[in-house]
Amino acid sequence: MRSTARSFPQPSPALLSGTGATPAHIYYEPRVIRVDTTCPTSLPSPPRRPGAPSAQRPAMAHTSAGPSPADSVPFPRPAYLDHSALRHLLQTDTPSQLSSSPKPDLAVVRTEYAGGRRRVQRSPSFDSDEEDSITPGEISSRHQENNPLMSSALLRLPTRWSEEYRSPMLSVSADGRDLTYQGSPSNSDKDAAAARTIFPIPPACGIYYYEVEVTSKTNNNKGLVSRDFKLTRLPGWEKNSWGYHGDDGSSFATEKTGTPYGPQFGAGDVIGCGIDFSQNRAFYTKNGALLGSVFDNIGKDCDIYPAVGLCHLGESVRANFGQDPFKFDIEDHVLQQRNTTWSRIQTAPWTWPVADGDKDLTPASTSTAETRAKSQINDLVLSYLSHHGYARTARAFEAQCSARGGMSTLRLSKTFPSSSTSRVSDHDQIMDMDDVPQTPTIAPAPMDDIEIRTRIVHAVLTGDVDTALSDTRTHFPRALDADAGLVLFKLRCRKFVELVLEAAELKKRMCAEDAEMNVEADGEDKGISEGMGMDVDDEADISSTGVTNGFGGGSSAIPIKGKRKASFAYYSHSGLLGVIAAKYGTALEHAVAYGQELQSEYKDRPEMRAIFKRTSVIVAFEDPLEAGGDAADVAGQGARVSLATEVNQAILLSQGRPAHPALERIYRHTAASLTQLALIGNGAAALVDMPRELLDA
């Protein structure tokens, strides 16, 4: 144990706690492979973190004493934070200071997040042995703007010492990283001085780490403190503060007597301090070596700030919040903790819940517990394959599971008759899905329906809207009537877009032919004017003027083979140009007429007029695909994919089937729950990165 008087002379890295504003509420939309994920609207708002009454004051530290861009050098998010599932919310500086991070400026940390939608689309692929024939569509900029991880208020990371929240006896350098003690030369308790950072440590980090180099003398302590920590005390002496003191190597946790923890440290040493929110414990390092975990229940009831305490004249330290490489391999440490968290998840025992009266999910009474679990998982996979049109894969999966006895009462053989005549067997399409009302059934659709639905979707993806409309009218007419004919109207709008794109492509060909023809004509003229040698016909006549070649004052009486060849090419291009020009004129007239027909037919439907207005923007561009912006969004492959998704949904709903298979709904619910847990301070949830572990592996 260590007395206050003896521990006082040492500066110490510390952790401060404090009750700040309510953790930000964000609507999170987990990314599902080839699935457009949207935010559940019923997510609970994170509760306000409890704290002492004195902490319920305005969060002035969040908005004041900020460094000017000229003084504070911007730096990217430290690499170890890339292992956080909420890494996109973590930001070191404002966007104006970070050119590589085009995110909105922030004035306050942990303000209420605006509900947003995250639309992540993947290029469509096929259940086929052949190479994918669809060009991957680009994700539109509009989708990125609607992504809450890109557009909502972000979580600011500690990057410098605060000018406001520091003892008057400490001076802060212009870049906010250096602290120097300039107080009384006496060594009494009243001369202790501390400083903390401007922003607290977001629990969404999972693990946060910073280092402090002792640049002068030996008496300091480092650690973590609360927002309301007294800046005239060293970290660890007061409530909600924790510190590692350098004079004797003791740790202090809200106490005036220390506990032996590690070696002493002094000038030239680099002391690291971190907090693991998955365990709510701190850890320290010295010169790159881990000293071990210390303290318990840190950050459960209050916000935590990095802090340093000094007490001797001339003492100085320099902090590294990620601006420079760390002495300690923090990235490997975080990776180990992340793997440990996943190991606990994978080894945790679980039982499969079965709803009363749910016949589809009720396993056979004679199955063992393990067989029941496997059969339910197989059913989830099978319904997913059926839902997204993986017909051949679903059939093969059903056969394999049946052979192994791993299927429940959901047997594909009852609804998936074997078929070898499908016209689209090599193009079993997967589509992105949007949020629509759910229905309880998860039974797979009949094979014929899947193949027809897949053919329709494939037609939309390849721009063959006429085929999509014809097949949908024939086999799924109710899908076109849904939402007062909205899907039908969108398909017709897409046909208008395809007609405009066809005309634009013909115009590009026409311009290319015209340019090639002009180049050949220019080459011919240049060759003749420069007296270039030409092949001469053996039966050529000699003119009376004696001019046998060249470009003289009269007409040459000698037919020039080179000239004749160029003329043939010229007239060939000219004829082709005329054909293309005629096709272009016809295509353009057809597109305009079809657009006018749509505009007239839906003139009394304001919502339809608004959609067509956004669609018709492509007419203003010679090449909508190359124009970028809204035109490219409307004309590009991504718009085809989105429409294919809506058509697929409409067909499924017209059959009384869910717009999302159960497997996707489970994924979405789990991801949203983990996000909310991470935002309210559960560090283990922040280390569970579902997309990286389950989708990107």
Cα distance between residue 369 and residue 361, in whole Å: 14
Query: What is the structure's pLDDT at 459?
Result: 94
Contact 678, 85 (CB under 8 A): yes
pLDDT band at 226 (very low <50, low <70, confident <90, very high): confident
Instruction: Write out pLDDT tens, residues 121-180.
Output: 333 333 433 333 333 233 233 333 344 443 345 899 999 999 999 999 999 999 999 999
Same domain for 530 and 483: yes
Query: What is the structure's pLDDT at 317?
Result: 93
Query: What is the structure's pLDDT at 583?
Result: 84
Q: Which of 151-165, 365-379, 658-672 holds the top average pLDDT?
A: 658-672
Cα distance between residue 633 and residue 629, in whole Å: 6
Provide the percentage of residues in the chain whose pLDDT is more than 70.
62
Same domain for 470 and 440: yes
Phi then psi dihedrals of residue 333, to 5 deg: -65, -45
The strand pair at 220-226 and 12-18 is best described as parallel
Q: Which of 385-389, 423-427, 459-463, 511-515 has the lowest mean pLDDT?
A: 423-427
Cα distance between residue 294 and residue 251, in whole Å: 8
Contact 16, 224 (CB under 8 A): yes
Identify the domain containing residue 600 by its residue range.
Answer: 479-541+558-656
| Residue 80 in domain | no
Cα distance between residue 140 and residue 132, in whole Å: 21
Region 505-531: what's the mean pLDDT? 65
The DSSP bridge partners found for residue 211 are: 272, 320
| Structural domain total, the chain | 3
Q: What is the largest CA-CA distance in the chain?
A: 124
| Residue 40 in domain | no
With CA atoms as reference, report the closest residue to 472 among 460, 462, 484.
460
Same domain for 178 and 203: yes
Cα distance between residue 57 and residue 20, in whole Å: 8
Instruction: Write out pLDDT tens, residues 165-212.
Output: 999 999 999 999 999 998 777 666 678 889 999 999 999 999 999 999
pLDDT band at 438 (very low <50, low <70, confident <90, very high): very low
Phi then psi dihedrals of residue 461, to 5 deg: -65, -30
| Residue 589 in domain | yes
With CA atoms as reference, report the closest residue to 333 among 274, 251, 270.
274
Contact 333, 292 (CB under 8 A): no
Query: What is the structure's pLDDT at 407?
Result: 63
Contact 209, 160 (CB under 8 A): no
**pLDDT higher for 414 or 179?**
179
Instruction: Give the contacts of 420 (CB within 8 A, at least 6 positions apart).
Output: none
Query: What is the structure's pLDDT at 191?
Result: 81
Query: What is the structure's pLDDT at 216?
Result: 82
pLDDT band at 523 (very low <50, low <70, confident <90, very high): low
**pLDDT higher for 170 or 222?**
170
Region 620-633: what's the mean pLDDT? 87
The strand pair at 259-260 and 316-320 is best described as unpaired
What is the three-state SS of 42-93?
Answer: CCCCCCCCCCCHHHCCCCHHHCCCCCCCCCCCCCCCCHHHHHCCCHHHEECC
Q: Compute the mean pLDDT over every residue in the chain, rounded to the nearest whole number.
A: 71
With CA atoms as reference, report the closest residue to 208 among 114, 279, 260.
279
Which DSSP string do the residues of 185-235 spell out, in sequence order? SS-SGGG-EEEEESSPPPGGGSEEEEEEEEEESS-EEEEEEETT--TTS-T
Query: What is the structure's pLDDT at 267?
Result: 87
The DSSP bridge partners found for residue 502 are: none
Cα distance between residue 308 and residue 301, in whole Å: 21
Query: What is the structure's pLDDT at 668?
Result: 92
How many C-beta neighbours within 10 Å does residue 21 have? Answer: 17
Query: What is the structure's pLDDT at 159?
Result: 93
Same domain for 372 and 318: no
Query: What is the structure's pLDDT at 559?
Result: 37
| Residue 390 in domain | yes
Cα distance between residue 283 and residue 242, in whole Å: 11
Region 602-620: what's the mean pLDDT? 89
Region 585-611: what's the mean pLDDT? 89
pLDDT band at 23 (very low <50, low <70, confident <90, very high): very low
pLDDT band at 356 (very low <50, low <70, confident <90, very high): low
Instruction: Write out pLDDT tens, residues 36-79.
Output: 333 333 333 444 344 333 333 333 333 334 444 445 678 899 99
The strand pair at 281-286 and 270-276 is best described as antiparallel
The DSSP bridge partners found for residue 243 are: 223, 252
Cα distance between residue 196 and residue 179, in whole Å: 10
Amino acid making up residue 622 = E
Same domain for 443 and 395: yes
pLDDT band at 520 (very low <50, low <70, confident <90, very high): low
Same domain for 641 and 627: yes
Query: What is the structure's pLDDT at 337?
Result: 94
Q: Which of 331-340, 364-373, 601-610 holds the top average pLDDT?
A: 331-340
Instruction: Write out pLDDT tens, residues 307-323.
Output: 998 888 888 999 999 99
How many C-beta neighbours within 10 Å does residue 518 have? Answer: 12
Helix (H, G, I), strand (E, B) or coil at 663: helix
pLDDT band at 114 (very low <50, low <70, confident <90, very high): very low
Distances, alpha carbon 628 to alpha carbons 141, 498, 624, 633, in Å: 10, 17, 7, 7
Q: Pick the last residue of a domain from 450, 475, 500.
A: 475
**pLDDT higher for 233 or 270?**
270
Same domain for 375 and 322: no
Instruction: Write out pLDDT tens, residues 465-509.
Output: 999 999 999 999 999 988 889 999 999 999 999 999 988 888 888
**pLDDT higher for 108 or 477?**
477
Query: What is the structure's pLDDT at 101?
Result: 38
Instruction: Give the contacts of 121 (CB within 8 A, at least 6 positions apart).
Output: 36, 137, 139, 143, 432, 638, 641, 642
Token pair 């004679």 is found at 366
pLDDT band at 271 (very low <50, low <70, confident <90, very high): very high
Domain of residue 188, CATH code: 2.60.120.920
Same domain for 383 and 273: no
Contact 13, 284 (CB under 8 A): yes
Region 78-90: what's the mean pLDDT? 93
Q: Pick the last residue of a domain from 460, 475, 490.
A: 475
pLDDT band at 521 (very low <50, low <70, confident <90, very high): low
Instruction: Write out pLDDT tens, residues 230-249.
Output: 887 888 888 888 999 888 88
Amino acid making up residue 19 = T
| Residue 39 in domain | no
Same domain for 604 and 461: no
| Residue 588 in domain | yes
Same domain for 320 and 192: yes
Query: What is the structure's pLDDT at 189?
Result: 66
Provide the percentage of residues in the chain whose pLDDT is more than 90.
29
Phi then psi dihedrals of residue 649, to 5 deg: -65, -45
**pLDDT higher for 645 or 116?**
645
Cα distance between residue 420 and residue 430, in whole Å: 20
Cα distance between residue 110 and residue 91, in whole Å: 12
Which DSSP string do the residues of 264-320 spell out, in sequence order? ---TT-EEEEEEETTTTEEEEEETTEEEEEE-SSTTSSSEEEEEEEE-STT-EEEEE
| Residue 593 in domain | yes
| Residue 5 in domain | no
How many degrees, rounded to 5, is the angle at CA 253 between CA 251 and CA 258? 45
Same domain for 408 and 319: no
Same domain for 583 and 529: yes
Q: Pick the last residue of a domain from 419, 441, 475.
A: 475
Query: What is the structure's pLDDT at 463?
Result: 93
How many C-beta neighbours within 10 Å does residue 314 have? Answer: 11
Contact 431, 645 (CB under 8 A): yes
